[in-house]
Amino acid sequence: MSAKFNSLLSSSLKRFSTLFLLIFILNIHFIAGQNFNSVAHGNWNDIQTWTSTNDCRPNQDISLGQPPISKNSGCPVEVFINHDVVYDGNVSGFGSGVFSGIGIGSGGSLLFLGDLTIDGGGSTPRIELADGAELIVRGKININRGVEIIVPNNARLIVDELIVGDNQPTITVAEGGALVVKETTIIKDKAKLNLNGDFETQDLTFSSGGTINASSNAGKFDVNGDLLINNGTLNMLGQSRIQVTGTTSTGQSGQINFKNTSSGLFSGDVTLSNGGGISAVNNSGFAFEENLSMSGGAKLELRNFANGIVQKDVTMTNGTIDLSNNTEIAVGGKIMASNGASINGKNNASLNICDYPNSTKENTYHVNLKNNAFYGQGCFALPVVWKTFEVSLVGDEIIRLDWKISKEEANSHYEIERSYGGIDAFEKIGEVTAAGWSNVETRYSFQDNQQIGFSGMVYYRIKQVDFNGNSSVSEVVGARIAEVITKKMEWMAYPNPSDGSTLKVKPVSGSASGPVRARFLQASSEAVFQGELGMELDQWLQTRIQEAVKGVCVVELVFEEEVYRIKVVRL
């Protein structure tokens, strides 16, 4: 029996050893891969842009020349970019198959000159930018698989149009990073944006769900058009702040949640419908500069010292306003509740209405109050109603502030406050006398020319002071001051001499950005460029030096109305 047992044990061990060896071999096959690294500025499809290494076996379909856009099988591919790389044309299926990831190093950039679609199957790629990196799409980027894109400090993701699909993709913008969408951003079901840096878009639409978590204490969240949330969630956390220039609407359970000390400024009409809603808790708040409409079971909820302002009318054909625990809503117009609309207040909550005589009264079935809650006349009489506040550069060190006020009550003056580099050190720099009382639009301006020797972000806010000494503060608006050049700049071309593979230009000291005109001259030939300093100009110069014959060339730059000429030797 013992011999039989030993025989069974030996057989089992052999099977286990064979299985373990098979798993080990499969694991070796899985982790083996091929790395493509950029070695020069250039085009994605140019083999001179890349070098590659691999630990793949010969039968694993090793990619040759340039990295593939997608790869169905074979040796996994990972791409590392430390130069300026351009892909010319539209891309579909980017990163599918065994494409395991792409990394853009500090100072590197990847530019797509058409639409970019990230879809397909296989391993889930990770797209990660290093400090100072850029990913630019001059078209539409459609992300429809579970990829993760990370934008760290000082990195930028810039696209014309962004669609974050319903296959669990995630975009994370770290503090100091920026996501800029020039047109529309569409968030779909199971998509997620984590915003701890800057996010700017024209329109923002939650088409079928999805989540945005905004938690930046210093970054901006600007929707320059309309905000539409259908069956999705926007979470404003920490000290984050959103500003919406156009209209805002929720429907099909769309939700905006303000928590901690977050806030929102909504310049257009706000519409809550079809089960959608807005909540504010724990010292957070919002301001609606136009009307609020509620219907279809929508809900507006404030708890625990939250506050809200509606500068015009509230219309409720259905839906609920719930106020509790020392919260307050101030309405500059009237409230009209009908059908199944209800207003509930408890525990020292209050709803103050300027035009109470024309509003739904407390003694109707629409209003339910308990535990010292208040509903009724209580016009908060905003001393000013802000319409716009903008800053603009008018010179190297001069910033102009312009603001419009649509209404003023007993308004004494405005104090202009400035903070360098952040929003935690405001100081008064000037004062402008106010109109006092006005029911028509009034325009004000102030010019700040005290930026001696400073470059970077500068922030402004305006303190309004009424005749009784009470004050309120505007939103915070920032502007970027470029490095001040006190004498004519000096430029250098490098490498110089050039072997013809690449050519770039930069200031001898410091940095520069902005529009530039350039000419490349050699003998009787001439090429002309007009565009932006940086990658656009460098790509153009690389093409010119590659086409040049051996000898002396001249690069002529026209930058900020100054003309510079640089001699370059082509070997």
pLDDT tens digits, residue range 127-147?
999 999 999 999 999 998 888
How confident is the model over 252-264, as pLDDT tens digits?
789 999 998 888 8
Q: Are 202 and 159 in contact (CB under 8 A)?
A: no
Residue 446: partners with Cβ closer than 8 Å, 6 or more residues away: 400, 401, 414, 416, 430, 432
In three-state form (DSSP H/G/I as H, E/B as E, the rest C), the secondary structure along 6-29 is HHHHHHHHHHHHHHHHHHHHHHHH
Q: In terms of Cα–Cα distance, which of 477, 463, 474 is closest to 414?
A: 463
- The first and second tokens of residue 250, run together, are 């929720």
- Could you give the CA distance from residue 385 to residue 75 in angstroms, rounded to a whole number? 63
Q: Are 54 and 34 in contact (CB under 8 A)?
A: yes
**Amino acid, single-letter form, for residue 422:** G
- Binned at pLDDT 50, 70 and 90, residue 237 comes out as very high
Q: In terms of Cα–Cα distance, which of 379, 384, 380, 353 is closest to 366?
A: 353
State residue 32's pLDDT score. Answer: 56
Q: In terms of Cα–Cα distance, which of 73, 72, 75 is closest to 57?
A: 75
Q: How many CA atoms lie within 13 A of 383 on its CB side?
A: 20
- Could you give the CA distance from residue 196 to residue 173 in angstroms, rounded to a whole number? 6
How confident is the model over 19-77, as pLDDT tens digits?
333 333 333 333 458 899 999 999 999 999 999 998 888 788 888 889 998 888 888 99
How many CB atoms neighbour CB 459 within 10 A? 20
In three-state form (DSSP H/G/I as H, E/B as E, the rest C), the secondary structure along 313-381 is CEEECCCEEEEECCCEEEECCCEEECCCCEEEEECCCEEEECCHHHCCCCCCCCEEEECCCEEEECCCC
State residue 485's pLDDT score. Answer: 45
pTM of the prediction? Answer: 0.66
Q: What integer best gives the mean pLDDT of the chain?
A: 86
- The first and second tokens of residue 551, run together, are 């000898």
- Whether the per-residue pLDDT at 556 is higher than 60: the answer is yes
- The first and second tokens of residue 302, run together, are 């404030």
Q: Are 157 and 179 in contact (CB under 8 A)?
A: yes
- The first and second tokens of residue 159, run together, are 């696209």
- Could you give the CA distance from residue 268 to residue 271 in angstroms, rounded to a whole number? 10
Overall average pLDDT of the 295-299 stretch: 93
- Hunting for tokens 């709803």 — which residue is that? 351
- Binned at pLDDT 50, 70 and 90, residue 453 comes out as low
Q: Are 232 and 210 in contact (CB under 8 A)?
A: yes
- Could you give the CA distance from residue 400 to residue 381 in angstroms, rounded to a whole number? 29
Phi then psi for 31, rounded to 5 degrees?
A: -85, -15
